[in-house]
Amino acid sequence: MTEDRALSLSKGRQGDHDILLEIDRLRTHFFVDGGVVRAVDGVSLSVPAGKTVCVVGESGCGKSITARSVLRLIERPGRIVDGRILLSGGDSAAGEPVDVVALDPEGERLRGIRGGEIAMVFQEPMASLSPMYTVGNQLVEAIRVHLDLTEEEASRRGVELLGRVGIPRPERIMESYPFQLSGGMCQRVMIAIALSCRPRLLIADEPTTALDVTTQARILDLLADLQAETEMSMIFITHDLGVVAEIADEVVVMYLGTVVEQGPVDEIFHDPQHPYTRALLASIPRMGRGARQRLATIPGQVPAPLQRPAGCPFHPRCTEAIPGLCDVEEPPMIELGERRRACCVLHDRERLDRHQGEAARS
């Protein structure tokens, strides 16, 4: 890392942006019988204060593991093997950002960050809620861990939050157990719990996948309102590029545990700079295409976790791959502008010229 970059990280700023969270070359690996699965392998990304960063990519690209790493929720046989996760502001406002990776996993500071400063909504709401306690118990407990409220005040806040996430008759739902609710209702309860302490960063991992489109639109509106009120930042993980277009300020595209492109949402949608991003966008069904026209797909499959290709991890599926280069050398991350970068050799003129020269001589 250059000295300038280290300085910008320590001050929590990049260009004109106040950076709330900076993930710096994070590696989270899983040590299994057959070898090492490099689920997250050198991910760097940042989240500006008050903005929404959407993380997209196919299943298995490391989106959820990156998100869980931020809260240190990686279980054995996985662990964070390298990198930093710097959180600015909050208790660290007067000083340096706190490195979440360096915190004691059982310590007070990490407990305060989890649920208080950073909240997370998981993919499977049923697995995240306890079947033994009522929704009210769980909501009140989450509120009282982080906020100095009486049980009665916390309960009133819980009812209000359930109403805000679109749950009808919230007083009654407070008395219900999760197994008495539908998956969609449970997801809304999870979102209410996550928002209950007004986190500075909300990490939402496919939070609206189980919901019907009306509820989904309501939840997205609610998140946008809360963001405007509280300057909350969001990392939003989704497969749905329609949702991305609606809510993202910036987009991070991941493939096989690495970031392949990042940039402002308009630039990613209108001028993608990485072949994988182009392929993802080309595979969105569009109105007005002929009924008989085939939907574009990305050739091949995501490789098995223990069979990571050499060179560019996308090269076996890339229609623009350069033989002898892409299958041999790892591509560099090229800065294309402020908060705009792509990891592809097509943007590295020097390397391309060298390769062409070598090819001509041989």
User: Where do contacts with ligand SF4 occur on this chain (CB under 6 A)?
Assistant: 274-275, 312, 314-315, 318, 320-322, 326, 331, 344-346
Residue with smaller CB distance to ligand SF4, 144 or 347: 347
Residue with smaller CB distance to ligand SF4, 178 or 257: 257
- Rounded to the nearest whole angstrom, what is the least distance from the CB of residue 318 to ligand SF4 in the complex? 3
| Closest among 307, 337, 331, 319 to 34, alpha carbons compared | 307
Residue with smaller CB distance to ligand SF4, 139 or 326: 326
Residue with smaller CB distance to ligand SF4, 30 or 314: 314
Query: CA dist 268 to 100, 238, 263, 282, 313, Å?
Result: 29, 15, 6, 12, 20
Measured in Å, how far apart are the chain's first and last C-alpha atoms? 36
> Contact 119/204 with Cβ under 8 angstroms?
no
- Rounded to the nearest whole angstrom, what is the least distance from the CB of residue 255 to ligand SF4 in the complex? 9
Residue with smaller CB distance to ligand SF4, 58 or 320: 320
Rounded to whole angstroms, how far apart are CA atoms 218 and 353? Answer: 51
Helix (H) or strand (E) holding 252: strand 250-255
Question: By CB neighbour count within 10 A (0-12 exposed, 13-18 middle, 19+ buried), where does 6 fall?
Answer: exposed
Residue with smaller CB distance to ligand SF4, 272 or 331: 331
- Rounded to the nearest whole angstrom, what is the least distance from the CB of residue 42 to ligand SF4 in the complex? 15
- Rounded to the nearest whole angstrom, what is the least distance from the CB of residue 336 to ligand SF4 in the complex? 13
- Rounded to the nearest whole angstrom, what is the least distance from the CB of residue 316 to ligand SF4 in the complex? 8
- Rounded to the nearest whole angstrom, what is the least distance from the CB of residue 332 to ligand SF4 in the complex? 9
Q: What is the DSSP letter of 294?
A: P
| Closest among 199, 208, 215 to 236, alpha carbons compared | 208
Contacts of 228 (CB under 8 A, 6+ apart): none
